[in-house]
C-alpha cells in the first residue's frame, strides 16, 4: 500500500503537487490520470525518493522509500523507459540492478523471458525500439518480485499486441494482491485495465474513485475525464485560451 | 549492512566494465603515455656531444611522471563518466531506485573508481618507464626500486585525483563541465597563473590542486618554472593539500547530490 499524506512539491512559485492525501490499495489496478503537468510524474518520483517533497510524506507500507533495504524487492518502478545507459547490453543492465539488491542473476533471465526480450538480451540498450525499451523497463519492475509497482505511461510505443500484453500483465499482478499504480493518457485502454482511478489536475486531487462510479452517468471514461479536467488543462489551444470574453468582444 | 553495501559496489563494478567508454579511457591512457614516453626515449638516445655521458642519461622513472601530466585526464574522464553518463542517460534514477541512500551510492562509485585508479596508475608508470628505457638506447637507466617508488607515488596521486573528479562529477553532473574544471584545476590554471608573472597570482597558484599534486609527483609545475623553492610545502605537503582538495570537493559534491532532485 502507498500512503500519501499532505504531499506537496513546489518549484519556486509553481506548485507541482498540492497537498495530496490518499492511499493506493493493494489487489487492484489504480489508474493515475491527469493532463500533462498535472503532477503525476512528480508524485511518482516523490514516492520513490528521487524528488524531495516540499512538505508531507509518501510512505510505502508505512516506510519512506529511502528507509527500504533492498528496495527493488519491495517496490518496482518504470518511470522512463529510456533511462538506461545506451551502450550497455540490456541483460547487463538488469544484472547490475539485480546485484545491487542481492537478487540472484538467474532471475534476470527469468524476467527477460517473461517480457519477451530473451532473444535480444545481448543487444545494447541504445539499439532498442521504444516498445522494447518499455519491455526492458517492465523487466526491471518485475526483477525483485515486489509487492508495490509503479508504471508511468507503460504502453507508450507498444504495438497492439504489446498493449494487450501490458493490460493482462497489470491485471494479473493486481490479482496476485500487489499494489499497482499506472499512469496513462489512453482513456479507452485505462478503462479496460484499471479498477480504481486517481485523477489529478494542476497538482491537486480531482478524483479518487472506483472506475464504475467515476464513469457512471457518462458514456465512457473519456467523457467523464474531460468533464472533470476541463478547467485543469495546462496548455490549451488558441480558441480556448482566448476564452469567452474575447469571443464576445469580437462578435 | 556491510553485505548490502558490497552489493552496491558489485553493481557499480558491473556497470563500469559493461560500457565501452571505460575501455576507451584505458586505451586512451595507454596511448597518451606511449605517445609521451617513446619520443622522449628516442630523443635521449641521440648522442649529444655537448653533454657528458652521465649528464645525458635518462632516468626513466622521470618519463613516467612527466607523461602523467597528460595521461591523467584519460583516467579522470573514466572516473567522471561513472557519474555523469548516468545523468546524461537518466539512468541515475535507476541507480537511486536500487540504492536510495545517496551517500552509499557515492562511496560505492568511489570505491570502484579508486581500485581502477590505484592499479592503472601504477601500471601506467611502469609502462612509461619501460617504453622510455626501451627507446633510449644506451642512455636509459632503469632502476627498479626508483621506478617502483615512482609507480607507488603515481598510484597514490591518481587515487587522490579521481576522488576529486568524482566530487566534481556529482556536483556538476555534466561530463564536459566536470572535465573542464578538472583540467583547469589540475593543469591549466596553475600554469597560467604562474606565467602571469604577478606575485599574487603566483602565490594563489601554489594552493591549487595541480601545483600541489605535481609537487608530490616530483615534476612540480612550480618547480618547472623555477619556483620550487618558494613553495610553502614539500612533496608530502603537496599530497596533503591535493587530498584536502579532493575531500572538500567530494563533500561539496555529496551535499549537492543529497539535496537535489534526481
CB contacts of A75 in chain B (<8 Å) are: 97
Q: Which chain B residues contact residue A71 at CB under 8 A?
A: 97-100
pLDDT of residue B193: 95
B138-167 mean pLDDT: 96
Contact A87 B3 (CB under 8 A): no
User: Which of these ranges, A71-80, A237-246, B13-22, has the smallest mean pLDDT?
Assistant: A237-246
A195 φ, ψ to 5°? -100, -30
Tell whether B86 is within 8 A of chain A (Cβ).
Answer: yes
Asked if the Cβ–Cβ distance from A49 to B94 is below 8 Å, we say no
* B164-185: average pLDDT: 97
CA B180 to the chain's CA centroid: 14
Is domain A1-69+148-155+164-232 annotated with CATH 3.50.50.60?
Answer: no
pLDDT category, B2, cuts 50, 70, 90?
Answer: confident
**What predicted TM-score, i.e. pTM, was given to this entire model?**
0.92
The predicted structure's pLDDT at residue B151:
97
Q: Is B261 within 8 Å of A45 when comparing Cβ atoms?
A: yes
Q: What is the pLDDT of residue A246?
A: 38
Q: How many residues does chain A have?
A: 251
Given pLDDT bands bounded at 50, 70 and 90, which one contains residue A241? very low
Chain A CB within 8 Å of residue B85 CB: yes
The closest CB to that of B14, out of A52, A70, A96, belongs to: A96
Put simply, the answer to whether A99 touches B86 (Cβ < 8 Å) is: no
Provide the percentage of residues in chain A whose pLDDT is more than 70: 93
**What is the chain B residue with the closest CA to A86?**
B89
Closest-approach residue (CA) in chain A for B81: A85
Q: And the C-alpha cell for A170?
A: 497489470
Cβ distance A50 to B262 less than 8 Å, yes or no, reads yes
- Interface with A, mutate which of B94, B103, B258 (most A CBs under 10 A): B94
Chain A residues with CB under 8 Å of B12 CB are: 96
Q: What percent of chain B has pLDDT over 90?
A: 89
pLDDT at A251: 39
Task: Quickly count: other Cβ atoms within 10 Å of residue B24's Cβ.
Answer: 15
Q: Which residues of A are less than 8 Å from B89 in CB distance?
A: 82-86
Please list, residue by residue across B223-246, b when 16 or more beta carbons sit within 10 angstroms of its beta carbon and e when fewer do: bebebeeebebebeebbebbbebb
**What residues of chain B lie within 8 A of the CB of A83, using their CB?**
89-91, 93-94
Question: B14–A69: do the CB atoms touch at under 8 Å?
Answer: no
Q: For residue A88, list chain B residues with Cβ-Cβ distance below 8 A.
A: 15, 18-19
What is the rounded CA–CA span in Å between residue A209 and residue A211?
6
Mutate which of B12, B92, B97, B261 to test chain A, going by most A C-beta atoms within 10 A?
Answer: B97
Letter string b/e over residues B148-186, b meaning 16 or more CB atoms within 10 A of that residue's CB: eebbebbbbbbbbbbbbbbbbbbbbbebeebbebbeebb
Nearest-CB residue to A100 (from B8, B86, B89): B8
Per residue, the 3-state secondary structure of chain A, as one string, reads CEEEEEEEEEECCEEEEEEEEEEECCCEEEEEECCCCCCHHHHHHHHCCCCCCCEEEEEECCECHHHCCCHHHCEEEECCCCCCCCCCEHHHHHHHHHHHCCCCCHHHHHHHHHCCCHHHCCCEHHHCCHHHHHHHHHHHHHHCCCCEEEEECCCCCCCHHHHHHHHHHHHHHHHCCCEEEEECCCHHHHHHHCCEEEEEECCEEEEEEEHHHHHCCCCCHHHHHHHHHHHHCCCCCHHHHHHHHHHHHHC
Q: Do A102 and B7 touch (CB under 8 A)?
A: yes
ipTM of the complex: 0.92
Is B100 close to A100, i.e. CB distance below 8 A?
A: no
Secondary structure in 3-state letters for B198-248 = CHHHHHHHCCCHHHHHHHHHCCCHHHHCCCHHHCCCCHHHHHHHHHHHHHH
CA A112 – CA A90 distance, rounded (Å): 9
Amino acid at each position: 500500500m502507498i500512503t500519501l499524506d499532505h504531499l506537496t512539491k513546489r518549484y519556486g512559485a509553481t506548485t507541482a503537487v498540492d497537498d495530496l492525501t490518499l492511499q493506493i490499495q493493494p489487489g487492484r489496478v489504480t489508474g493515475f490520470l491527469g493532463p500533462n503537468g498535472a503532477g503525476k510524474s512528480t508524485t511518482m518520483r516523490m514516492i520513490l525518493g528521487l524528488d524531495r517533497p516540499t512538505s508531507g510524506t509518501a510512505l510505502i507500507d508505512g516506510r519512506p522509500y529511502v528507509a527500504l533495504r533492498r528496495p527493488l524487492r519491495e517496490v518496482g518502478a518504470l518511470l522512463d523507459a529510456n533511462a538506461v545507459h545506451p551502450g550497455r547490453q540490456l541483460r547487463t543492465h538488469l544484472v547490475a540492478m539485480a546485484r545491487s539488491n542481492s537478487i540472484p542473476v538467474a532471475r534476470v533471465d527469468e524476467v527477460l523471458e517473461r517480457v519477451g526480450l530473451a532473444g535480444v538480451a545481448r543487444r545494447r540498450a541504445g539499439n532498442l525500439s521504444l516498445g522494447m525499451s518499455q519491455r526492458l523497463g517492465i523487466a526491471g519492475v518485475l526483477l525483485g518480485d515486489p509487492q508495490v509497482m509503479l508504471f508511468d505511461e507503460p504502453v507508450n510505443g507498444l504495438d497492439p499486441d504489446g498493449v494487450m500484453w501490458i493490460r493482462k500483465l497489470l491485471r494479473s499482478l493486481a490479482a496476485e494482491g500487489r499494489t499497482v499504480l499506472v499512469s496513462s493518457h489512453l482513456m479507452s485502454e485505462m478503462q479496460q485495465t484499471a479498477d480504481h482511478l486517481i485523477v489529478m489536475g494542476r497538482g491537486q486531487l480531482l478524483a479518487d474513485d472506483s472506475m464504475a462510479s467515476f464513469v457512471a452517468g457518462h458514456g465512457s471514461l473519456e467523457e467523464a475525464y474531460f468533464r472533470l479536467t476541463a478547467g485543469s488543462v495546462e496548455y490549451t489551444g488558441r480558441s480556448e485560451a482566448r476564452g469567452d470574453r474575447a469571443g464576445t468582444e469580437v462578435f | 549492512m556491510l553485505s548490502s553495501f558490497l552489493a552496491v559496489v558489485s553493481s557499480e563494478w558491473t556497470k563500469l566494465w559493461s560500457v565501452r567508454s571505460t575501455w576507451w579511457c584505458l586505451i586512451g591512457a595507454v596511448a597518451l603515455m606511449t605517445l609521451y614516453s617513446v619520443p622522449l626515449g628516442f630523443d635521449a638516445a641521440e648522442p649529444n656531444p655537448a653533454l657528458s655521458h652521465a649528464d645525458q642519461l635518462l632516468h626513466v622513472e622521470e618519463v613516467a611522471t612527466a607523461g602523467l601530466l597528460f595521461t591523467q585526464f584519460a583516467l579522470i574522464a573514466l572516473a567522471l563518466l561513472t557519474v555523469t553518463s548516468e545523468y546524461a542517460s537518466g539512468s541515475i534514477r535507476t541507480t537511486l531506485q536500487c540504492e536510495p541512500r545517496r551517500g552509499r551510492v557515492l562511496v560505492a562509485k568511489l570505491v570502484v573508481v579508486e581500485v581502477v585508479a590505484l592499479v592503472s596508475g601504477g601500471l601506467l608508470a611502469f609502462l612509461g618507464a619501460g617504453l622510455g628505457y626501451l627507446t633510449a638506447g644506451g642512455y636509459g637507466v632503469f632502476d627498479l626500486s626508483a621506478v617502483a617508488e615512482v609507480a607507488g607515488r603515481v598510484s597514490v596521486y591518481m587515487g587522490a585525483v579521481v576522488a576529486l573528479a568524482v566530487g566534481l562529477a556529482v556536483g556538476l553532473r555534466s561530463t564536459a563541465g566536470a572535465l573542464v574544471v578538472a583540467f583547469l584545476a589540475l593543469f591549466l590554471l596553475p600554469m597560467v597563473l604562474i606565467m602571469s608573472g604577478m606575485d599574487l597570482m603566483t602565490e594563489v597558484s601554489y594552493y591549487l590542486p595541480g601545483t600541489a599534486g605535481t609537487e608530490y609527483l616530483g615534476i612540480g609545475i612550480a618547480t618547472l618554472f623555477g619556483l620550487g623553492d618558494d613553495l610553502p610545502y614539500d612533496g608530502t605537503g603537496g599530497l596533503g593539500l591535493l587530498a584536502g582538495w579532493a575531500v572538500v570537493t567530494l563533500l561539496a559534491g555529496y551535499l549537492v547530490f543529497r539535496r537535489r532532485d534526481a
